Structure 1
């Protein structure tokens, strides 16, 4: 059993079960903590509820009674639960610390932690970094926002291993002492304002990734992002910049021919398989994090020569009668769709739409020059239709969902067209996750083929 290193709290409330809450509760119980769990949607017959009660937890289900905070020293909340939640707000009012599960994970391991965050590119960078280390015969495990609970992994990983964590702003907002040995800060763009309320709050949550770092740690950061450049001035870590625009001798950079790390050539651009100019930032950040963790040039080259992307992120799904299908369901904001559209030179039929967060989508307008047609669905379909009309796109179809959108797109397509799912919206109006939405797209494409 792994012991918590620095956790001076005895009475813990875990708010929200799901995977992260369950893992955190189990780890706390194993460490002798008194654990109370509150989940509105859980039932007494749920296997995790039964198991946690057998382990000694008190489980309160069906509602959020404020008295669950009585006698509590600290609150561990599911990252997706808003700070406006009655229990979270109540904890703040009582002066009870509020953390997320990654704080627990970090207390359970002495492994080399590589923490990766940013508005876009987190999953690609996390995956690339881990693969580069694997190909370099460095032991590595991946967890965090990528879908694998960090606390579960932290209880099994060796101290000589590398733990690569994809970290969301939701997770980073709830930390006390958490710090990665290597922090990677990719970019900052306006996102998740329905949760954070202001851009400044969102930025500060992201910047938490380096707030506890010391002079023994590394901070890999985007030297082309002005808000990041200003923010990292406050960091005590060793700063490792990356840039797609200029040479940074102490970091990772590129010219028209090659990519480099600290003046050492790593790979020729022509040998990189990953699609999209925007991915060079992700690649440079990955190279820096991997090299700092012991990756070899050969290992990095092996990955970059064959890696074509992660599932749901500009994922090539298939080709049918000279039409190419791409799944970019992870494009849950406008910036991600901008980058997806920039990746193609051939005519694009864009499948888009989803949860309405109040965006007007005008930032997409300059990127619609290659879009020959739109197939739209979800709450934002009418809004994006108006934008398409403004861009002069004559073929715009509204449909029920992603599945029907595939058939509609194929019906209006021609040979050499790109049929691209890049919604620019979250999925929650119709699908539980962007993964579910992407899987529906893939299934529809395979049915069509």
Structure 2
């Protein structure tokens, strides 16, 4: 029998609890633990000046705070340690703490233990946030009370006490969150898998293994939605403990599935099929968004009426930083696709446009190969503006791609992000598309992809 959130918090009263990472998502967790009577220590490698007064506010509530590069040196004697998702669970300090008897957990792991309502979880290399947002939007449109959170930016554990059994929790789950999970959601979605986050994961095998945790702990009554067009996700089916529903843009899978036929999304229960959503009624552009809708429709099958799906698709204009139209200036359209922190995501974005575009790319090096990105750029890009740590790697991938000819595309490199955006503006002519779709993480110059996207929008709006 699962604990309630009240029972769990009661068990922490008077306990020594450390929270690693004082980000926006962990701050509500720290506040909740303090209210529950836990003796809370909050640790972060950043300095006090990076928190805009948040540290002082937590200290005023009773938290003990340790900041700086030695932030992991204060774990001795702690009863419970909440790991921030980006921190590997096998770093020496955490392993030593576990050997001393500390319980290592995370906000999401505890949420899965205490959540009183069905959980729909979404993971994948690309499309997680849009698919998660669509699922939550469809359920809300159908009249359900929905809690949306996880890797999308909102912790759900502080909301658990308000949840009712008839509600739904819809959570985006990263590989970092899934690494140590021993519970799976009732409905799991895997959008796709490709090399990603290999700067943190030791191998592609470890990355895949982490993703498998989203369904491997399901029961026979649970369901996993898998992308049949992706070799890795398709291979998950034989190991799934619950029911499997495939989605595919390229074929009509046998059994329960979601697929594309006659330019519409169809659903099959394995015996018969029906048309649910004409592609032309989807406001979001691109094949990848058709796949996002397929995954979402697979997740809400039996919960949301088809007409509600059609009405939602006709009005939903996407999530910020995901092929977001910033403005049209002198007949040039500027798009912010800062979320594209992997080559596969950038390739999908490029395919949304019939014309060749002006692409701004480059950023922090996650040690992901750019072999597939090079040919896509030669096919879809007229002018490539590079910036960030990976500029030379992307340039090399393009210049070595089949079909590359000098000047096609034109390639320019700039150290400063602002200079790159201004160069794209200078290169643009009426009718052109300028898109920021970096194919890399943002950490070389920005805190996260949102800050990078906001910087791009600020520069573009000032042109």
The normalised TM-score by structure 2 is 0.88
Pair 1:218 & 2:220 matched = no
CA separation in 2, counterparts of 1:77 and 1:90? Answer: 14
- Check the 8 A contact 1:76/1:98 in 2, yes or no: yes
| Structure 2 counterparts to residues 39-438 of structure 1, below 5 A | 39-41=44-46, 43=48, 48-49=54-55, 52=58, 57-62=63-68, 64=70, 68-83=74-89, 85-92=91-98, 94=100, 96-176=102-182, 178-248=183-253, 249-262=255-268, 263-292=273-302, 294-359=303-368, 361-368=370-377, 369-390=379-400, 391-392=404-405, 394=407, 395-438=410-453
Partner of 2:27: 22
CA separation in 2, counterparts of 1:379 and 1:90? Answer: 34
Indicate the SS of the match to 2:322: coil
CA separation in 2, counterparts of 1:23 and 1:424? Answer: 31
CA separation in 2, counterparts of 1:420 and 1:153? Answer: 37
Which deviates the most, 208-217 or 118-127?
Answer: 208-217
Q: Deviations over 1:338-357 (max 9, x none)?
A: 11112222021110111123
- Check the 8 A contact 2:29/2:155 in 1, yes or no: no
- Check the 8 A contact 1:106/1:154 in 2, yes or no: no
Q: Which runs of 5+ in 2 are unaligned?
A: none
Change (3 A) 1:347 1:65: closer
Change (3 A) 1:64 1:175: farther
Which deviates the most, 83-92 or 116-125?
Answer: 83-92
CA separation in 2, counterparts of 1:398 and 1:66? Answer: 38
Q: Deviations over 1:388-440 (max 9, x none)?
A: 44422512222233333222112112222211111111111111111111111
- Check the 8 A contact 1:144/1:166 in 2, yes or no: yes
Give the deviation of 1:13 after TM superposition.
2.8
- Check the 8 A contact 2:279/2:290 in 1, yes or no: no
Select which of 432, 439, 447 maps to 2:454: 439
Give the deviation of 1:7 after TM superposition.
9.8
Q: Deviations over 1:66-95 (max 9, x none)?
A: 663333344211112234644224335556
CA separation in 1, counterparts of 2:184 and 2:62? Answer: 30
- Check the 8 A contact 2:199/2:367 in 1, yes or no: no
- Check the 8 A contact 1:350/1:421 in 2, yes or no: yes
CA separation in 2, counterparts of 1:328 and 1:431? Answer: 15
Indicate the SS of the match to 1:19: coil
Give the deviation of 1:165 after TM superposition.
0.6
CA separation in 1, counterparts of 2:95 and 2:162? Answer: 34
CA separation in 2, counterparts of 1:309 and 1:410? Answer: 24
Give the deviation of 1:204 after TM superposition.
0.9
Give the deviation of 1:201 after TM superposition.
0.6
- Give the superposed CA RMSD: 2.7
- Check the 8 A contact 2:361/2:387 in 1, yes or no: yes
CA separation in 2, counterparts of 1:66 and 1:318? Answer: 45
Q: Which runs of 5+ in 1 are unaligned?
A: none
Change (3 A) 1:242 1:441: same
CA separation in 2, counterparts of 1:142 and 1:355? Answer: 29
CA separation in 2, counterparts of 1:179 and 1:143? Answer: 16
CA separation in 2, counterparts of 1:94 and 1:186? Answer: 39
Change (3 A) 1:73 1:147: same
Indicate the SS of the match to 1:75: strand
Give the deviation of 1:51 after TM superposition.
5.2
The normalised TM-score by structure 1 is 0.90
Give the deviation of 1:299 after TM superposition.
1.4
Which deviates the most, 263-272 or 347-356?
Answer: 263-272
CA separation in 1, counterparts of 2:415 and 2:158? Answer: 39
Change (3 A) 1:46 1:444: closer
- Check the 8 A contact 2:132/2:296 in 1, yes or no: yes
Change (3 A) 1:393 1:78: farther
- Check the 8 A contact 1:64/1:87 in 2, yes or no: no
